[in-house]
Amino acid sequence: MTRIDSTPLSSTPRARLGRYPDRARVDRSDLHAVLDAGIVCHLGVVVDGAPLVLPTGYGRIGDVLYLHGSSAATSLRAADAEPVCVTVTLVDGIVYARSVFSHSVNYRCAVVHGRARRVDDDTEKLAGLRALAEHMAPGSWDHAREPTRRELAATLLLAVDTTEASVKVRTGPPGDEDDDIAGATCWAGVLPVTTAWGEPQPCPQLAAGVQVPGYVADRP
C-alpha cells in the first residue's frame, strides 16, 4: 500500500473543491495516504430521500474501498447499487486565530463519490474482508479464526471505486488578515490533536499465558 501512485484524481464537478481550492491535493497517492491513515469512514447513503451518515470500518485494495456490515443493516442495504459518499477525516489541530472569523482546523479529508457494488463472489469477498480486517486490526487475520460460510453469508460487503474523489488538507498557522496581526495581543497558533494507541487491555477470558503480540503492542 506504500507504492506511490501519481495518477491525478478525477476532476468531475462534484469532486472539484469550491472552497479553498489551494487546499486540494490532486495525486492519487494523497488520497491513498489519507484513506490508509484513517480508522473509520463515514458512509453517506440516501434513504427515503433523506441523507443517512454512519461510521463504519473499511479497507482498501488498490483503487477499491471495501466496507462491511450485517446483511440486515438498513444503511448497507440502502447503499447496494446506489450512489454513496465515503468520507475519511483526520483532525490534526485546532487553529486559534486573532479574529473569530479566521479560526480554523488543521485536517486531512478524503471524499469518495461512487456507486456501491455488493460483493457476492467468494474470492473477492474474502479478499475484501481480509483488507478490512488488516486495516482495522493489522496482523489479526493470520491469528484469528477465519469466517465460516454462515458468517460470510451474514456479512454484507460493499465495494466502492475511488476513481471519483477529492482530497483536502489544511496545515500551518492561522491565516489572519494583516490588519488583525498588527497590534494583536491575543495568542494565535495551533493546538495539535494527537491520536495514539493506549495500553492493550486483555480480554478477561483470555487463556492463561497468552502475551500481547507485537502486532498489537507495537502497532504503528
| Residue 173 CB coordination number (10 Å) | 14
To a copy of itself, the closest distance from the beta carbon of 6 in angstroms equals: 26
Smaller CB separation from a copy of itself, 115 or 118: 115
State the minimum distance, in angstroms, from the CB of residue 194 to a copy of itself.
5
Contact indicator for 36, 80 with CB cutoff of 8 Å: no
Cβ proximity to a copy of itself: between 24 and 105 the closer is 105
Q: What is the rounded CA–CA span in Å between residue 167 and residue 2?
A: 18
Which amino acid appears at position 83 of this protein?
A: P
CB of 119 to a copy of itself, least distance (A): 16
Using DSSP bridges, classify how beta strands 117-118 and 104-115 pair: parallel, antiparallel or unpaired: unpaired
Please, which residue, 6 or 205, has the CB nearer to a copy of itself? Answer: 205
Residue 5 or 39 having the CB closest to a copy of itself: 39
Of 64 and 69, which CB lies nearer to a copy of itself in the complex structure?
Answer: 69
- In the complex, minimum distance from the CB of residue 63 to a copy of itself, in angstroms, rounded to a whole number: 19
Task: Show Cβ contacts of residue 171 under 8 Å, excluding neighbours closer than 6 positions.
Answer: 92, 106
Q: Is 28 helix (H, G, I), strand (E, B) or coil?
A: helix
All three cell numbers of 158? 460493499
- Smallest distance from a copy of itself to CB 130, Å: 8
- Burial class of 2 by CB neighbour count within 10 A (0 to 12, 13 to 18, 19+): exposed
